């Protein structure tokens, strides 16, 4: 990963973590605020319910009191005081009066609690209602479970004694309103809240006992365990109900037990608060977070890109300069317009390349001097050999002229022959040096390197199997190298040199192998021998002009090879070790572009 | 004689003469009020549904009472029943049977015409009876009709008095009768306007026409009656004992059976004991006196005591203790449902009272007006004053026919004795498919200007004799 990318990731992570942290904090704060508001709304609704409960209770009490003071109640009380116990005249009275007074429940009972007339269960005349607290009738309304022909119901009841004057048996009016949907619907509910009522008939949870004016309880069984829990614990409780898999449908349910006269829980007020607002708010926070995070990330990418570019540009310049130096451009310099460590690094780099350049020039000078020394040594050595016979011959002529003039002609003739031979030798030496210095530029032609290899092998095959030397086995492993551009004569000379060197390296027989390889933009030729091999020092100096490890030769062969290969834009390398044989590898670029250039020049 | 005395005598004479004239006028007016008048429109209402006027339409079970009242106004039967429940001539002048009571020959009254002028013939009578009684083999023979059946039918003359056996001329979907009225306007299930037939063989009805509103609830009927929009209305049983403003109440004999009918036969001995316990647990007297304001009589049997004379032999008093003893040890698998007519407020109270009585005996039963209850509270009108006919009809309606009862009935070649009837009725009750509760009266409230009101022995309204006085109700 590049330094710029690392910087980018660090910047992005920093922004992301920051935004996420802010989002979490906001979300937590929002949830707390919502829960607080929810608690306040629930408390307000419970208070409202209690107020409505009390108000309705007062209304019921007033209506029951009015009925107890009415002529109808007095008539009933009077009729039963006479002892005839005829229920028939009053069978429908309770229902009629209840309808007039808008009561759901109404019963006229005697002092023993025997029902005289019942609105909710007209057929119950003559039956006792044991649940009535007639010994000490409460002044206020109270919750009571009422048996009905088709089941049970909870109602808000009130009891009043019929004021029928002296001498009459006691009679009571028991009236009430059912806690039904209408009752619950009377509550003013804030948006997102609803109130339900659960009638506790001690039969376990029953969906039919759940009064839900909103009718939105999709599956009442989901609150069964909660209702049972509250009924068992007998205290307020709150839970979260997941109606569906959609979190927006979740609801916080607060249960408030309502007790009857016997202090038993007659029912539960269930206040439901939808979590939709909170979920939507949370969703909004999440969306805002994602948006802010996205925007922040984008901004971070841009800023970090800019910052990273600003920070890394000098570094990249330094890296590029280093690559240039690696390629041999030692005079490369880095221009950094900044300060601090990067500028110091750039200055150091420039100083380093300057030093390297100077070192290289120094080395070149040293090398040049060494080359000159070597050249002078070789030249002196080569020239010294013919000069010594020349000196001896000339001295012999002088001596013969002085000592034996009669033999001078004969000696002169012999000496002149020798002189001419040595002079010719000198000229040959000079000619080779001259030839090395005047290496011709390659003339590029289309050629197949395999053809060159085959030509060279054909040329030397006779020498390989010659009678004056041990036989050398020669093999070729030629790949389909394709066309390259090169000078056939020069390359032929390269391969000939390498093959002859290999033969010289195997005086005791061996195996000569020539291989060709094809790469996309180049071909290579390997010349392997199984000779004695070279030491690393010999390998290092092998291509130095006039260096030879053999007893004969000028030491210019491999230097010429390197010169020709280099003129073709290629490289030549050696791989060897003592007793491991030697492998020369020549890599030649295809140079097809030079072929085209040359054609263009010819056309021009 | 002094002048003043003469003057005094003259004044007294004039006063006496005035008084005499005035008393004569009052007497004349009074006589005019009690003498039947022709003319006028009689406005009545009935509660039961009447989707069809065809008296032989067996599908109209719920509107049986209504059609039973309307049919005699449009159609005649071959016989009628007198106050003793004995058959009397109507369209048939005389009848006779063979020894086995399987073949009956009825001689038709001559000169009778249907309302469209078609002469009543034996063919028309036979065709009508075949529609109403597919089991009978009916054939015309001159001026007589021959009725043959596979079993002995000693009660055939009484059965022919049923409104379902009315003689109807069916022509192209039209129903034509020979009764005192003809249908002038018919709104199926809503209203019926009858016009008096001037050529009715028994004499023209007094009123010109009768307007009958159909399907009106007792409450609506009473409201219209009190507003003077109706001259006669049916009363619910619980209304019968109360005073009616602006009119009078006419009660019939208890001719309607209120009973609990089970939807299936007894499946196990335990279930039979439960049904027995339920019958003992119900306080019929309180149902009658409190809920129905003594509009009927507690019933232990299917037929009322006034019809059979033996009904008191069937137990009808509540015995909760014995009911609990019978119920003891029986595990009732599920609560029974008791259905009732939702449109009848009294039926609901009765059903709920039965539930309470049953709970006292430990029997679990719940009122349920929905369809397909285990037991149903039903009111069935006795179609005939003939006990045998009424019992047969009840058995048919309640699906009480058992092999024993059929055998007992088929063995009667002559009119059954009281002991025979008791045995048959007892057999029906032993099936425990029905628990008789009450025998109810039917009541009608009539406006003051309605005179001559009477009901036939089958409970139908005898409207041809009704006349309207000029006074405003």
Output A137 or A189, whichever has higher pLDDT.
A137
**For the CA atoms of chain A, what is the radius of gyration?**
60
CB-based contacts of A86, cutoff 8 Å, min separation 6:
A79, B289, B290
pLDDT tens column, A298-335 = 887 788 778 777 777 777 788 888 888 887 777 788 88
What dihedral angle (degrees, nearest 10) is formed by the CA atoms of B5, B9, B10, B16? 160
Q: Which residue of B has its CA nearest to A128?
A: B356
CB A285 within 8 A of CB A161: no
Lowest mean pLDDT among A141-145, A426-430, B174-178: A426-430
Q: Which residue of B has its CA nearest to A148?
A: B352
Average pLDDT score over chain A = 83
- Read off the pLDDT band of B401 (50, 70, 90): low
Closest CA to B48 of B427, B343, B388: B343
Contact B350 A123 (CB under 8 A): yes
CB-based contacts of A134, cutoff 8 Å, min separation 6:
A109, A111, A113, A159, A170, A172
Contact B356 A122 (CB under 8 A): no
Separation in Å, CA of A278 to nearest CA in chain B: 46
What dihedral angle (degrees, nearest 10) is formed by the CA atoms of B12, B18, B22, B24? 90
Q: Quote the pLDDT of residue B27.
A: 45
Closest CA to A299 of A20, A16, A23: A16
Separation in Å, CA of B110 to nearest CA in chain A: 55
Q: Would you state the structure tokens that stand for residue A268, as one six-digit string?
A: 């539960």
CB B163 within 8 A of CB B66: no
Q: Which residue of B has its CA nearest to A85?
A: B290
User: With 70 as the cut, is the pLDDT of residue B72 above it?
Assistant: yes
- Read off the pLDDT band of A46 (50, 70, 90): confident
User: Which residue of A88, A127, A150 is in closest CB contact with B290?
Assistant: A88
pLDDT tens column, A448-461 = 999 999 999 988 88
Contact B355 A123 (CB under 8 A): yes
Residues of A within an 8 Å Cβ radius of B = 86-88, 91, 121-127, 149-150
pLDDT tens column, B106-146 = 999 999 999 999 999 999 999 999 998 888 899 999 999 99
Separation in Å, CA of A167 to nearest CA in chain B: 26
Residues of A in contact with B337 (CB under 8 A): none
Output A131 or B402, whichever has higher pLDDT.
A131
* Mean pLDDT score, B264-284: 90
- CA–CA distance, A270 with A253 (Å, rounded to integer): 6
Strand-strand pairing, B434-440 and B209-214: unpaired
**C-alpha A314 chain-centroid distance:** 28
Contact B290 A127 (CB under 8 A): no
Separation in Å, CA of B353 to nearest CA in chain A: 5
pLDDT tens column, A340-369 = 777 888 888 888 888 888 887 888 788 778
Q: Which residue of A has its CA nearest to B292?
A: A88
* Mean pLDDT score, A41-51: 76
Separation in Å, CA of A173 to nearest CA in chain B: 20
* Mean pLDDT score, A532-544: 83
Contact B289 A122 (CB under 8 A): no
pLDDT tens column, B327-366 = 888 888 788 899 998 878 889 899 999 999 998 888 888 8
User: Which residue of A91, A121, A127 is in closest CB contact with B290?
Assistant: A91
User: Which residue of B291, B350, B356 is in closest CB contact with A127?
Assistant: B356
CB pairs under 8 A between A and B: 35
Lowest mean pLDDT among A81-85, A456-460, B213-217, B465-469: A81-85
- Read off the pLDDT band of A216 (50, 70, 90): low
pLDDT tens column, A154-168 = 888 999 988 766 655
Contact B367 A125 (CB under 8 A): no
Going along chain B from its start, the domains and CATH numbers come out as 36-75+179-252+442-473 (3.40.190.10), 78-169 (3.40.190.10), 256-440 (3.10.105.10)
Residues of A in contact with B355 (CB under 8 A): 123, 149
Contact B286 A91 (CB under 8 A): no
* Mean pLDDT score, A597-601: 76
Lowest mean pLDDT among A182-186, A412-416, A524-528, B89-93: A182-186
Contact A123 B352 (CB under 8 A): yes
User: Which residue of A124, A127, A149 is in closest CB contact with B367?
Assistant: A149
Going along chain A from its start, the domains and CATH numbers come out as 69-178 (3.30.450.20), 341-437 (no CATH), 445-603 (3.30.565.10)
Q: Quote the pLDDT of residue A551.
A: 62
User: Which residue of B290, B294, B352 is in closest CB contact with A149?
Assistant: B352
Contact B367 A121 (CB under 8 A): no
Residues of A in contact with B294 (CB under 8 A): 88
Residues of A in contact with B293 (CB under 8 A): 88
Residues of B in contact with A91 (CB under 8 A): 290-291, 349
Residues of A in contact with B350 (CB under 8 A): 123
User: With 60 as the cut, is the pLDDT of residue A523 above it?
Assistant: yes
Residues of B within an 8 Å Cβ radius of A = 286, 289-291, 293-294, 349-353, 355-356, 366-367
Q: For the sheet containing B296-298, what is the strand order?
A: B296-298, B434-440, B256-262, B375-381, B336-339, B365-367
Output B118 or A557, whichever has higher pLDDT.
B118
Helical pair A408-437 and A341-403, crossing angle rounded to 10 deg: 170
Contact A121 B352 (CB under 8 A): yes
pLDDT tens column, A462-486 = 888 777 778 889 999 999 988 999 9
Residues of A in contact with B353 (CB under 8 A): 123
Output B264 or A595, whichever has higher pLDDT.
B264
Residue to mutate among B293, B352, B361, with most A CBs inside 10 A, is: B352
Residues of A in contact with B219 (CB under 8 A): none
CB B34 within 8 A of CB B448: no
């Amino acid at each position: 990963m590049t330094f710029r990318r690392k910087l980018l990731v660090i910047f992005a992570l920093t922004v992301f973590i920051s935004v996420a942290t802010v989002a979490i904090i906001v979300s937590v704060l929002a949830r707390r605020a919502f829960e607080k508001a929810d608690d306040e709304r629930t408390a307000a609704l419970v208070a409202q319910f209690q107020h409505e409960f009390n108000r309705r209770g007062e209304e019921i009490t007033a209506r029951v009191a009015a009925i107890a003071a009415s002529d109808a109640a007095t008539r009933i009380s009077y009729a039963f005081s006479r002892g005839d116990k005829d229920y028939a005249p009053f069978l429908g009275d309770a229902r009629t009066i209840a309808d007039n007074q808008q009561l759901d429940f109404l019963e006229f009972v005697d002092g023993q609690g025997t029902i005289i007339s019942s609105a909710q269960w007209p057929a119950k005349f003559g039956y006792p209602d044991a649940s009535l607290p007639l010994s000490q009738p409460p002044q206020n309304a109270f919750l009571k479970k009422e048996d009905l022909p088709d089941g049970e119901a909870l109602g808000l009841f009130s009891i009043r004694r019929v004021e029928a004057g002296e001498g009459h048996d006691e009679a009571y009016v028991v009236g009430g309103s059912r806690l039904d949907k209408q009752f619950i619907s009377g509550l003013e509910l804030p948006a997102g809240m609803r109130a339900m009522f659960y009638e506790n008939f001690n039969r376990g949870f029953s969906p039919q006992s759940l009064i839900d004016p909103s009718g939105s309880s999709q599956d009442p069984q989901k609150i069964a365990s909660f209702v049972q829990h509250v009924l068992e614990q007998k205290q307020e409780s709150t839970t979260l109900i997941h109606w569906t898999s959609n979190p927006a449908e979740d609801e916080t349910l607060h249960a408030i037990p309502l007790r009857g006269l016997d202090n038993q829980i007659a029912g539960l007020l269930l206040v439901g608060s939808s979590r939709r607002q909170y979920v939507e708010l949370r969703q909004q926070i999440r969306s805002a977070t994602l948006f802010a995070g996205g925007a922040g990330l984008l901004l971070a990418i841009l800023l970090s890109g800019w910052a990273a570019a600003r920070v890394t540009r000098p570094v990249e310049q330094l890296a590029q300069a280093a690559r240039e130096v690696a390629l041999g451009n030692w005079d490369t310099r880095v221009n950094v317009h900044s300060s601090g460590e990067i500028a110091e690094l750039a200055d150091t780099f420039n100083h380093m390349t300057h030093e390297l350049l100077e070192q290289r020039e120094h080395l070149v000078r040293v090398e040049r001097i060494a080359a000159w020394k070597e050249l002078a040594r070789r030249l002196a050595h080569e020239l010294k050999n013919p000069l010594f016979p020349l000196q001896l011959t000339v001295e012999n002529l002088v001596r013969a002229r002085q000592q034996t003039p009669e033999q001078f002609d004969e000696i002169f003739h012999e000496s002149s022959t020798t002189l001419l031979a040595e002079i010719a030798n000198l000229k040959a030496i000079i000619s080779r040096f001259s030839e090395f210095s005047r290496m011709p530029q390659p003339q590029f032609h289309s050629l197949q390197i395999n053809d060159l290899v085959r030509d060279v092998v054909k040329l030397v095959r006779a020498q390989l199997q010659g009678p004056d030397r041990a036989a050398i086995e020669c093999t070729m492993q030629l790949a389909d190298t394709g066309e390259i551009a090169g000078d056939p004569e020069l390359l032929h000379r390269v391969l000939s040199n390498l093959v002859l060197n290999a033969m010289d390296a195997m005086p005791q027989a061996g195996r000569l192998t020539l291989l060709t390889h094809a790469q996309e933009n180049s071909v290579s030729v390997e010349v392997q021998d199984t000779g004695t091999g070279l030491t690393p020092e010999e390998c290092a100096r092998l291509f130095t002009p006039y260096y030879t490890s053999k007893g004969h030769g000028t030491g210019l062969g491999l230097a010429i090879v390197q010169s020709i290969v280099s003129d073709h834009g290629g490289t030549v390398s050696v791989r060897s070790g003592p007793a491991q044989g030697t492998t020369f590898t020549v890599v030649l670029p295809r140079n097809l572009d030079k072929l085209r250039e040359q054609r263009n020049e010819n056309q021009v | 004689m002094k002048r003043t005395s003469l003057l005094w005598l003259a004044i007294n004479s004039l006063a006496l003469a005035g008084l005499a004239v005035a008393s004569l006028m009052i007497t004349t007016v009074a006589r005019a009020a009690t003498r039947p008048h022709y003319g006028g429109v009689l406005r009545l209402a009935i509660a039961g549904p009447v989707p069809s006027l065809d008296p032989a339409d067996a599908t109209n079970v719920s509107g049986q009472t209504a059609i039973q009242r309307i049919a005699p106004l449009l159609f005649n039967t071959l016989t009628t029943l007198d106050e003793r429940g004995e058959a009397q001539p109507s369209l048939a002048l005389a009848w006779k049977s063979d020894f086995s009571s399987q073949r009956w020959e009825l001689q038709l009254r001559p000169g009778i015409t249907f309302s469209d002028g078609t002469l009543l013939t034996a063919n028309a009578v036979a065709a009508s009876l075949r529609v109403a009684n597919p089991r009978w083999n009916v054939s015309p023979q001159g001026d007589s009709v021959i009725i043959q059946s596979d079993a002995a039918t000693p009660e055939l003359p009484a059965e022919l008095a049923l409104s379902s056996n009315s003689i109807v001329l069916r022509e192209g979907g039209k129903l034509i009768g020979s009764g005192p009225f003809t249908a002038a306007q018919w709104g199926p299930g809503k209203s019926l306007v009858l016009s008096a037939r001037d050529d009715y063989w028994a004499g023209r009805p007094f009123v010109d026409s009768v307007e009958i509103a159909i399907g009106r609830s007792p409450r609506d009927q009473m409201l219209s009656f009190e507003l003077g929009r109706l001259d006669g209305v049916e009363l619910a049983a619980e209304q019968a004992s109360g005073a009616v403003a602006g009119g009078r109440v006419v009660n019939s004999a208890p001719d309607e059976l209120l009973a609990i009918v089970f939807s299936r036969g007894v499946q196990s001995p335990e279930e039979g004991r439960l049904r027995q316990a339920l019958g003992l647990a119900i306080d019929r007297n309180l149902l009658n006196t409190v809920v129905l304001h003594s509009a009927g009589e507690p019933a232990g049997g299917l037929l009322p005591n006034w019809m059979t004379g033996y009904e008191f032999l069937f137990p009808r008093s509540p015995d909760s203790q014995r009911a609990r003893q019978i119920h003891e040890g029986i595990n009732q698998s599920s609560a029974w449902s008791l259905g009732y007519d939702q449109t009848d407020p009294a039926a609901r109270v009765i059903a709920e009272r039965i539930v309470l009585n049953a709970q006292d005996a430990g029997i679990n039963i719940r009122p349920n007006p929905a369809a397909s209850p285990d037991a149903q509270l039903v009111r069935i009108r006795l179609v005939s004053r003939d006990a045998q006919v009424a019992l047969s009809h009840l058995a048919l309606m309640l699906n009480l026919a058992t092999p024993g009862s059929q055998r007992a009935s088929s063995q009667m070649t002559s009119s059954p004795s009281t002991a025979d009837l008791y045995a048959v009725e007892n057999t029906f009750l032993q099936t425990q498919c029905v628990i008789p509760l009450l025998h109810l009266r039917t009541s009608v409230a009539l406006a003051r200007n309605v005179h001559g009101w009477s009901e036939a022995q089958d409970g139908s309204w005898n409207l041809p004799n009704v006349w309207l006085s000029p006074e405003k109700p």
